[in-house]
Amino acid sequence: MKIILASKSPRRVELLSQMGFAFEQRTVEIPETIDYALPLEQIPMVIAEQKLDAIMPYIEQDTLVISADTLVFIGQEILGKPRDLDEAFQMLRKLSNNTHTVITGVCVWCKGKKVSFFDQTEVRFSELTDYEIMTYLTDDKVLDRAGAYGVQDWIGTVGIASIHGSYTNVMGLPTQKLYEVMRRFGLQADV
């Protein structure tokens, strides 16, 4: 069965590859609209469903499709992808010496059935100095990351004090939960 990853994220590509699956990467651009009336954990799941719906007209029948969206929440505030480096700096100041929640929503379609789920991870940053934040922000790759950071980056290595939950969820794809769903559809990893 063909597998399609409906995401541009290099982290999701890396994680799905590490899971042992061969797949194609295809995307369709959509506006990622946030419905603030939804419970927080449902917001990334609904965006993942919108991404899946957008790509479905281009998908063959005997295919499994995976879409996902990751958001960072500090209290009730949503930290998506920063618009610019100034906003990224402000996000990292908020995360410094604080605990936040990373929620990834995932949608999987196969054989006419759609399964949506989410995973959440609590992440605590130690106190970051302005110098450390500015050092990290010399690369504009942060503009493609919810909360303006990558857990696998330098800032995660030196700044994250604790993680409660799935590490891969913080990277953008809760691999263990995804693997369980893929097994239910009869897929086995090729490792």
**Which residues are the active-site residues?**
69
Which amino acid is located at 89 in the chain? F
Q: Taking each helix axis from N to C terminus, what angle separates 175-184 and 10-18, rounded to the nearest 10 degrees?
A: 60
Using the Cα atoms of residue 154, residue 152, residue 11 and residue 100 in order, give the sign of their dihedral.
negative
Give the pairing of strands 24-25 and 2-5: parallel
DSSP letter, residue 128: P
Asked if residues 152 and 14 have their Cβ atoms less than 8 Å apart, the reply is no
b/e code 87-103 from CB counts within 10 Å (16+ = b): bbbebbebbbeeebbbb
